[in-house]
Amino acid sequence: MVVYTRGAFARVSLSSMTRGGVLLFALGLALRVCLLPAWGTFDTEVQKAWAARAATAGLAGIYGPDDAEMVRVARAETGSAWGLVTATNLPRTRIDWENGTFVVDYPPGSLLVLWAAGRLYRALRPDLPNRPLFNAVVNLAPLLGSIAIAALLHRSARGEGRGLAFWLNPAALLAAPVLGGQDPLFGALALAAVLCLAAGRHVAATGLVVAAGLVKPQGALLLPVLLFVMAREARPRVWARSALAGLAVAAIILMPWWTSGHLLSALDGCRRTAVQSALSAQGLNLWWLAGWVMDWAREGAWPLAHIHSVEDFHRWAGWDPRLAARVLLAGAIVASLFLMRRWPAADRRAIALVVILQVHAYAFLATSVHENHTFLAVVLAPLLLGAWPRAGTLLAATSTLLFLDLFLAAGLGRRVTTLRFVEQVRMAAGLDLTVVVVLLHAVLLVALFAWMARPRGAAALAAAAAPPTE
């Protein structure tokens, strides 16, 4: 018997993981452990630079100077301390590592994890040499995140194979540890938030959403659904408790910067990814296609697509794509929530499905999207296995798109495949394969809207049940 209501996505079952399931889990674990020392993409070097800086000099000044200096610079540039919100030349700490110089542009939650990795590696190798062991240490936290994701999915419905559907997913393995992505940390928090929200645990869901957002900026994609569900279900006292939970989580994560007088630079670090200037940072979406069209107009037919800046496109097209992207994304989010209203409040499948839709709407319509930004959809799609008729198709589609985007951007990582090899694969048929993937992504986005518009399965059962309250 399937339960779609208060039990969220659970299937009533007496069975747990079978012997075959244990062996498959062990296989996935062995693969991940063997791949921990992989060199990944160049982002792995960035993560090691941050980890080494945090381990040796502490977290306080890793983003920039103290609060007094931040206010002074903002006043000098804008005439007011409120210029912290709009100032474009706020000072940033420069981190030298190997032959590069880096600044931190990830939220504080990620830096806490990298600080722990750096401390561990420093305990093992005090001189912090750039060796495969450092790669392995940086990849330990994503391994734990992947284990947490598999465990949460397995607990959501024993006997449905949800945990293994993620654990053995080639796209998930390619993201981490092959390419050294940190996404599983964010994915575990986001998955836990969705599960709590589906179970009517609004306070816990709010805290987890804040934690996810302070690990990876994509946590903001959970906010529209959280607010929508709470507006439909939560009483005023639950809103108050949820706000306090979110503030408490934020305070705990920001504590190292708050207590050392560097809170403003840490908050500035949270917004740095929001002001990136890439038209598409190898996310195969609408703006990657727009850049390809620009290359066609400039260089001739059937070019190899490249990363372009927003400013370059603006000069060529005569209009700023960021405004168009924001309008399109806002419209897509509003439309998805409107379609969510068609689902009975007690049918909790809609929560995971609408988040997946919004992840792909962001990944397809926003600028500065990276190749790994649909990872959360691959984490959430297994939740619908055994609970929704289209779940298998959705999981296959989201996984295929993520795998192709990752592989066509970075192959199998440094010291395994070269950029030249990846470009040859892309152009093997004469047409850049990334353009085909963009079109497939568009088809999936349309399909997600269509699926969201037509609730299927046990809608009648869900409609008969009372919505969860706290």
What is residue 282's three-state secondary structure? strand
Q: Please name the amino acid found at residue 28.
A: G
Which one-letter DSSP state was computed for residue 261? T
CA 84 to chain centre: 26
Write down the residue that tokens 């990657």 correspond to.
Answer: 288
Burial of 5 (0-12, 13-18, 19+ CB in 10 A): buried
What is residue 414's three-state secondary structure? coil
CA distance 347 to 198: 9
pLDDT per 10-residue tile (average), the chain, 470 residues? 44 58 96 98 97 97 95 85 75 93 95 98 97 98 98 87 97 98 97 98 98 96 98 97 98 98 94 88 98 97 97 97 97 98 95 98 97 98 95 98 98 96 97 98 98 72 43
CA distance 421 to 413: 11
Neighbouring C-beta atoms of residue 242, cutoff 10 Å: 23
Write down the residue that tokens 């919100």 correspond to.
Answer: 85
- Which residues are CB-contacts of 148 (< 8 A; sequence separation ≥ 6)? 184, 188, 192
Tokens representing 52 are 């080494």
Write down the residue that tokens 């949820």 correspond to.
Answer: 242
The pLDDT of residue 89 is 76
Which has the closest alpha carbon to 437: 466, 468, 398, 469? 398
Which has the closest alpha carbon to 111: 53, 178, 67, 66? 53
Strands (E), 50-204: 95-97, 100-102
Is 198 within 8 Å of 8 (Cβ atoms)? yes
The pLDDT of residue 17 is 67
- Phi first, then psi, for residue 102 (nearest 5°) are -130, 155
Which has the closest alpha carbon to 447: 356, 384, 346? 356
CA 22 to chain centre: 28
Tokens representing 386 are 């055994």
The pLDDT of residue 455 is 84
Is 189 within 8 Å of 213 (Cβ atoms)? no
CA distance 345 to 233: 8
Q: DSSP for 340-364?
A: HTTS-TT-THHHHHHHHHHHHHHHH
Q: Please name the amino acid found at residue 217.
A: P
* Sign of the Cα pseudo-torsion (130, 136, 140, 142, in order): positive
Which has the closest alpha carbon to 260: 7, 59, 89, 469? 59
What is residue 309's three-state secondary structure? strand
- Give the H or E element holding residue 378: helix 375-380
The pLDDT of residue 457 is 55
Which one-letter DSSP state was computed for residue 210? H
Which one-letter DSSP state was computed for residue 200? T
Is 387 within 8 Å of 347 (Cβ atoms)? no
What pairs with residue 281 in β-bridges? 370
Write out pLDDT tens, residues 180-219: 999 999 999 999 999 999 999 999 999 999 999 999 999 9
Write down the residue that tokens 């495969």 correspond to.
Answer: 132
CA distance 149 to 417: 28
CA distance 266 to 351: 31
Write out pLDDT tens, residues 34-87: 999 999 999 999 999 999 999 999 999 999 999 999 999 888 887 877 777 777
- Which residues are CB-contacts of 204 (< 8 A; sequence separation ≥ 6)? 196, 245
Write down the residue that tokens 């919004």 correspond to.
Answer: 358
- Phi first, then psi, for residue 36 (nearest 5°) are -55, -40
Tokens representing 439 are 């079109």
Is 142 within 8 Å of 176 (Cβ atoms)? yes
The pLDDT of residue 16 is 55
CA distance 90 to 77: 9
- Which residues are CB-contacts of 64 (< 8 A; sequence separation ≥ 6)? 70, 90, 91, 92, 93, 262, 265, 268, 269
Distances (CA, A) of 172 to 83, 146, 189: 41, 9, 16
pTM check: above 0.85? yes
